[in-house]
């Protein structure tokens, strides 16, 4: 990729460089918005994005991916631990729970399942409050902390009780295990809340993203939003976000793609999930990890892990996406055998990709937008 670096007068160059450096610091959390002292929202700007740990799953032999994500994390001021990937052929039949008659899943699928369960196992074993679990081919926008800050505002609005009303929620369709009776009237419409006009809720005390969630999908290949008559909570928080590409760049494996079909360009939605696919990235709490270890590690393994996980998702925008390097396509995955050649590096649905802006970040230049308007 060829980049043009214009010639400027020394004074102008110095001023622009300072501005670029300030924007870089802002993006990576060195400088951030002023919040109340001690506010849990400030945790989003720490080196684990407000989670207690970040785990990255990948095969030790894929040193190319380990080098890549280590550099990305360093440039984003993130700290993480590797969880070694697993070759499915090394997982014995006796170690794979089976309660129905079906063929053993393929080695790539079995290895992926076991590696994710190893990550969940660590959350339970260490008694972590929360963890972000990613795969080693992920990429993210340089504005990830601003994106997560807005996501935290949205998730709190959807699942935290209303201020001064212990068992009431802004989203009337969301009724967790409380002593509150269901609404007297059925809620047929879809509750939508603009991000700049959210209801006042009880402040979170456990994580910036709220105190009542088990699992949040932050990276996926597609989800379905619950429709008006769904038994799943239907509340949505809507925002216009320039870091979201135009609709022509968006895609999903799970139709219908309501975000693209029903909302304008640059819309980001935080919502409860009806269905979905792909385990590129998710956040999990201690309670959620214990539930997953019980339901997915110890019960019938009859589907790929991304299908088994889909029923446990509380919502979340796609903030982490696949990075595809230039070169042979068979390097994309250790589960599937892709064919062909990738002419240019790219990251799905990400505008200011960290990986694609490494040169610009190191040189203090302006960010390159791979998906311009």
Encode pLDDT of 323-348 as tens digits.
Answer: 999 998 777 777 667 788 899 999 99
pLDDT exceeds 60 at position 209: yes
Residue with tokens 């937008």: 369
Query: Backbone dihedral region of 248: left (phi > 0), alpha (psi from -120 to 50 degrees) or beta?
Result: alpha
- Please give the DSSP secondary-structure letter assigned to residue 100: S
List Cβ neighbours of 12 (8 Å cut-off, separation of 6 or more): none
State the Cα–Cα distance between residues 355 and 357, nearest whole angstrom: 5
Q: Between residues 297 and 308, which one has the greater pLDDT?
A: 297
What is the rounded average pLDDT of the residues 47-76?
97
Per-residue pLDDT averaged across 285-299, rounded?
95
Which residues on adjacent β-strands are paired with residue 239?
Answer: 268
Can you tell me the mean pLDDT for 296-307? 89
Please state, in angstroms and rounded to a whole number, the distance separating the CA atoms of residues 342 and 290: 40
- Ranges 65-69, 177-181, 247-251, 320-324: which has the least confidence: 177-181
pLDDT in tens, 119-161: 999 999 999 999 999 999 999 999 999 999 999 999 999 999 9
**Inter-CA distances, 323 with 105, 247, 264, Å:** 26, 19, 26
pLDDT in tens, 141-152: 999 999 999 999
Higher pLDDT, 309 or 214: 214
Please give the pLDDT value at position 15: 37
Residue 80, pLDDT score: 98
How many CA atoms lie less than 13 Å away from 147 in the CB half-sphere? 26
224 burial via Cβ count (<10 Å: 0-12, 13-18, 19+):
buried
Question: Residue 181, CB half-sphere, CA atoms under 13 Å: how many?
Answer: 4
Which of the given ranges, 18-27, 47-56, 227-236, has the highest pLDDT on average? 47-56
CA distances to 110, 170, 295, 328, 362 from 101, rounded to whole Å, are 16, 44, 18, 38, 54
Which of 294, 342, 333 is closest to 107 using CA atoms?
333
Block residue for tokens 């505008």: 351
What three-state secondary structure class fits 7?
A: coil
| Burial zone of 95 (CB within 10 Å; 0-12 exposed, 13-18 middle, 19+ buried) | exposed
Q: Which residue has the higher pLDDT, 34 or 139?
A: 139
Count of C-beta atoms within a 10 Å radius of residue 113: 25
Please give the helix or strand (H or E) that residue 152 lies within, else none: helix 144-159
Token duo for residue 153:
């505002």
- HSE, CB side, 13 Å, CA atoms: give it for residue 129: 12
pLDDT at position 353 is 98
> Which parts of 279-326 are beta strand (E)?
281-285, 320-324
End-to-end Cα separation, the chain, in angstroms: 19
The count of other CB atoms within 10 Å of the CB of residue 59 is 17
Helix (H) / strand (E) element for 224: namely strand 222-224
The whole-number pLDDT of residue 32 equals: 43
* CA distance linking residue 178 with residue 173, whole number of Å: 13
> Which residue, among 161, 199, 192, has the nearest Cα to 268 in the 3D structure?
192
Instruction: Taking residues 86-104, report their average pLDDT.
Output: 95
Tokens of 173: 């369709």
Cα(169)–Cα(198) distance, rounded to whole angstroms?
12
Least Cα distance to 208 among 18, 94, 26, 51 occurs for 51
Lowest mean pLDDT among 74-78, 158-162, 269-273: 269-273
Element (H, E) at 54: strand 53-58
């Amino acid at each position: 990729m060829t980049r043009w670096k214009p010639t400027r007068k020394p004074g102008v160059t110095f001023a622009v460089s300072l501005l670029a450096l300030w924007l870089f610091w802002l993006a990576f959390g060195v400088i951030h918005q002023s919040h109340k002292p001690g506010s849990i929202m400030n945790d989003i700007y720490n080196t684990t994005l407000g989670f207690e740990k970040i785990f990255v799953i990948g095969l030790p032999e894929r040193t190319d991916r380990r080098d890549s994500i280590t550099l990305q994390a360093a440039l984003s001021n993130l700290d993480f631990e590797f969880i070694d990937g697993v070759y499915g052929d090394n997982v014995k039949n006796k170690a794979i729970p089976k309660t129905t008659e079906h063929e053993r899943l393929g080695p790539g699928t079995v290895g992926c399942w076991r590696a994710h369960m190893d990550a969940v196992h660590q959350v339970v074993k260490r008694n972590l409050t929360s963890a972000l679990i990613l795969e080693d081919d992920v990429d993210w926008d340089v504005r990830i902390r601003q994106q997560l800050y807005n996501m935290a505002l949205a998730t709190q609005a959807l699942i935290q009780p209303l201020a001064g009303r212990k068992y009431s929620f802004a989203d009337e369709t969301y009724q967790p295990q409380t002593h509150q009776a269901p609404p007297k009237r059925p809620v047929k419409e879809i509750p939508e809340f603009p991000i700049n006009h959210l209801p006042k809720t009880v402040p979170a005390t456990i994580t910036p993203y709220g105190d009542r969630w088990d699992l949040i999908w932050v990276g996926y290949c597609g989800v379905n939003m619950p429709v008006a008559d769904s038994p799943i909570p239907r509340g949505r928080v809507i925002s216009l976000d320039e870091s979201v590409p135009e609709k022509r760049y968006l895609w999903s494996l799970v139709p219908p793609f309501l975000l693209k079909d029903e909302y304008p360009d640059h819309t980001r939605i935080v919502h409860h999930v009806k269905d979905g696919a792909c385990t590129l990235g998710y956040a999990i709490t201690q309670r959620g990890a214990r539930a997953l270890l019980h339901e997915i590690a110890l019960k019938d393994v009859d589907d790929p892990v991304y299908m088994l996980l889909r029923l446990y998702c509380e919502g979340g925008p796609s903030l982490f996406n696949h990075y595809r390097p230039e070169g042979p396509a068979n390097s994309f995955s250790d589960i599937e055998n892709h064919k062909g050649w990738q002419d240019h590096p790219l990251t799905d649905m990400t505008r200011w990709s960290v990986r694609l802006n490494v040169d610009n970040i190191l040189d203090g230049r302006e960010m390159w937008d791979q998906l311009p308007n």
